[in-house]
Amino acid sequence: MAVVGVVIALAMGGCSSEKPKEPAASGQKADRIIVVKSRHTMTLMAGGRSLKVYKVALGRGPSGAKEHEGDNKTPEGEYVIDQKNTKSRFHLALHISYPNADDKKRAHDAGLNPGGAVMIHGLESGLGWLGPIQHDMDWTEGCIAVSNSEIEEIWRLVPTGTPIEIKP
């Protein structure tokens, strides 16, 4: 019974006064993604206009840009969605082209491996029931996470090659 209470409390805490925009009109595709880490938002853009805003969970590491593999930080900078993965352990995943040249140089200068498996993804198999409450705390190893229904929508709206800017 206590577990049910915790789940209900988490679900209620996940409610926000800011309602996301309705899904984009059919056939419309994003031409840019903007993530603002301090706001925990990811905005899909098309022609300079916002298509949809999502609340996201980020890396559980301390604030700041990703510096190396294993630091659990979400990177900051300019990247591209360079592939889509249907066989991820998470419900669909869009791979982000991290590390870029600046990330590689910074890690090299520090004698560290920059890492590279940074994605926008849904929830791990079996945890889809968490839905949107998953973004109430940062839990990833540096990725950007949304609910399973949201990643399905993002999958349809974001073609491979879409630029993504991740801001502090």
Question: What pLDDT digit, counting tens, does each position of 50-69 carry?
Answer: 999 999 999 998 889 999 99
The arithmetic mean of pLDDT across residues 101-116, rounded, is: 94
**Confidence (pLDDT) at 135:** 72
The pLDDT, as a whole number, for residue 16 is 29
Alpha helical stretches, state H, the chain: 2-13, 101-109, 148-157
Higher pLDDT, 28 or 154: 154
CATH number at residue 134: 2.40.440.10
Residue 4 maps to a domain = no
- The predicted model gives 35-60 an average pLDDT of 97
Q: Residue 83: inside a domain, yes or no?
A: yes
Position 163 in a domain = yes
| 119 belongs to a structural domain | yes
pLDDT band at 118 (very low <50, low <70, confident <90, very high): very high
Instruction: Quote the DSSP letter at residue 91.
Output: S
SS3 of 50-90: the string is EEEEEECECECCCCCCCCCCCCCCCCCEEEEEEEEECCCCE
* Domain of residue 69, residue span: 27-167
Number of domains the chain is built from: 1
What pTM, to 2 d.p., does this model score?
Answer: 0.81
User: Quick check: is 51 in a domain?
Assistant: yes
Longest dimension (CA), the chain: 53
Residue 164 has pLDDT above 80, yes or no: yes
- Asked whether residue 6 is assigned to any structural domain, the reply reads no
**The two structure tokens encoding residue 11:** 């679900």
Strand 41-46 relative to strand 77-85: parallel, antiparallel, unpaired?
A: unpaired
CA nearest 148: which of 163, 166, 127, 165?
127
Distance from C-alpha of 98 to C-alpha of 152, rounded to nearest angstrom? 22
**Nearest Cα residue to 121 out of 164, 150, 98, 99:** 150
Confidence at 126, pLDDT banded by 50, 70, 90: low
Residue 17 has pLDDT above 70, yes or no: no
| pLDDT tens track for 71-92 | 999 999 999 999 999 888 888 9
Q: Is residue 14 part of a domain?
A: no
Q: Which helix (H) or strand (E) holds 163?
A: strand 163-167
Q: How confident is the model at residue 156 (pLDDT cuts 50, 70, 90)?
A: very high
Q: Is residue 11, in this structure, part of any structural domain at all? A: no
Give me the pLDDT at residue 124, please.
Answer: 81
pLDDT at 132: 65
* Whole-number Å distance between alpha carbons of 72 and 140: 7
**Rounded-to-integer distance, Cα 110 and Cα 67, Å:** 9
Beta bridge partners of 54: 42
At 112 the pLDDT is 95
